[in-house]
Amino acid sequence: EVQLVESGGGSVQAGGSLRLSCSASINIKNRYCMGWFRQASGKEREGVASIVGADVATYADSVKGRFTITKDSDKNTLSLQMNSLKAEDTAVYYCAAGPDFLCGLDLSEQARRLTVRGQGTQVTVSS
C-alpha cells in the first residue's frame, strides 16, 4: 500500500514562506506523477503543482512565480517551496501520486484522478 505523509504546514503572515514536504513509501523515480493540491474551507480541491520525470513541472496560474515543486528521488520526497504567500493560499495541502501519464492532464483533472493522497497539512496565511 502506497503511503504519503505531508509535513511543514503552519501559520505565516502574508509575504512569508513555507516549505512543505511529502515522504513517499514508494520509489518515486520517473514512474509517477506527483503533485500538490489544496482545498480551502467550503471550496473544491484544486491543483497547485505537479511534476513527472526529472523536472517536468506544471503550476496553477495563481502560484506561478511564487511556488516551486521539486522531487528528490533518492529520498522519495516531494517538496513545495511557497514564497510570497497570500491569504488566499490558506488551505489544507495534500500530496498525491498516480501513474505518470496523468501529469499530461490539466491540474483540475489531476486533482480528481491522482487518488493516492496523504492526510494533508494545514497552511494558514494571515493578512
Span 44-95, pLDDT tens digits: 999 999 999 878 999 999 999 999 999 998 999 999 999 999 999 999 999 9
Contacts (Cβ under 8 Å, ≥6 apart) of 112:
none
Span 81-103, pLDDT tens digits: 999 999 999 999 999 999 999 99
Q: Are 48 and 59 in contact (CB under 8 A)?
A: yes
Q: Cα 61–41–125 angle (5° rounding)?
A: 65
Contacts (Cβ under 8 Å, ≥6 apart) of 14:
85, 86, 87, 125, 126, 127
- Partnered with residue 118 across adjacent β-strands are none
